[in-house]
Amino acid sequence: MSKTAVVTGSGQGIGKGIATRLAKDGFNLVISDIDKEKMEETVQAIKDSGSEALAVEANVTSRQDINDLVKKAADHFGSVDVFVNNAGIDHVAPLLKVEEEDIEKIFAVNVNGVIFGIQAAAEQMKKQGGGKIINACSIAGHKGFPMLGIYSATKFAVKGLTQASAQELAPDKITVNAYCPGVVGTSMWERIDARMVEEMGLEKPGDAFEKFTAGIALGRPQTPEDVANFVSYLASPDSDYMTGQAVLIDGGIVYN
């Protein structure tokens, strides 16, 4: 029987890369996003490659949406073996300029969304006798970066949630790990670059991206496929003895 993976925020970017790789690995895929058009495009691409995929529109800030997402996935494919809490948003600003609504918005997506995903996936996986929960962390979950203060705070929270839930869910044969990318060439980084150019007084678009990628040990920016390759390992039986870890996969930026 084929296994099933659910990936939130998988209409584009890293999430799409992860979904595409897991489909290649033989998983049935449940693609979830708030962007219906992008979500349907990803589903069609996976189907065109010969794999099974289902689109379920869901907002990770809604516990009910995430509960419904897991239920629809289990009803359609019979199980939820891997749940990837990939959905996330960025925020670029000096801490002294951060507004209350900025804090509420980013925590609702990056932290509350992960909590709701862990809760819903774990309840389903308990019924099945186990599973794997995989969370999106970041190099900003290991080191605070200027201009990314509240984003870093959300990713430190994800690392803590990963460690705590791994210990709580281990008796149910559920592992919980996280992947921590660096500077990935996606639309998110285009937005970060634009804001940093503005806030830091840089000359032109691309300057912030170039500044952040210049020191990568492996000499190039990261791609969604780089991240997806590692998530493939976390989703596979090869990672069965690994839990509670938030692993850096950044080409050599942060070391700890």
The sign of the CA dihedral 69, 71, 77, 80 is positive
- Kindly report, residue by residue over 23-70, the tens digit of the pLDDT: 999 999 999 999 999 999 999 999 999 999 999 999 999 999 999 999
pLDDT of residue 221: 87
Q: Calculate the dihedral angle through the C-alpha atoms of 34, 37, 38, 40, rounding to the nearest 10 degrees.
A: 100
What are the binding residues? 12-14, 33, 86, 151, 155, 181-186
Q: What is the pLDDT of residue 113?
A: 98
d(CA 8, CA 135): 10
Instruction: Give the SS3 label for residue 146.
Output: coil
**How much is the average pLDDT of 88-112?**
96
Q: What is the pLDDT of residues 104-152, one digit of tens each?
A: 999 999 999 999 999 999 999 999 999 999 999 999 999 999 889 999 9
Q: Please report, for residues 54, 208, 217, 226, 252, the alpha-carbon distance to residue 214 in angstroms, rounded to integers and kept in the order given.
A: 39, 10, 9, 18, 11
In the 8-state DSSP scheme, what is residue 143? S
Active site residues: 151
Position with higher pLDDT, 214 vs 170: 170
Which of 170, 66, 162 has the alpha carbon at shortest distance from 121? 66
Feature table: binding site for NAD(+): 12-14, 33, 86, 151, 155, 181-186
Q: Which parts of 83-145 fold into alpha helices (H)?
A: 100-107, 113-128
Confidence of residue 183 (pLDDT cuts 50, 70, 90): confident
Q: What one-letter code names the amino acid at 209?
A: F
Q: Does domain 4-183+223-249 have CATH number 3.40.50.620?
A: no
CA distance 68 to 131: 18
Q: What is d(CA 53, CA 42) in angstroms, rounded to the nearest whole number?
A: 9
Residue spans of the domains in the chain: they are 4-183+223-249
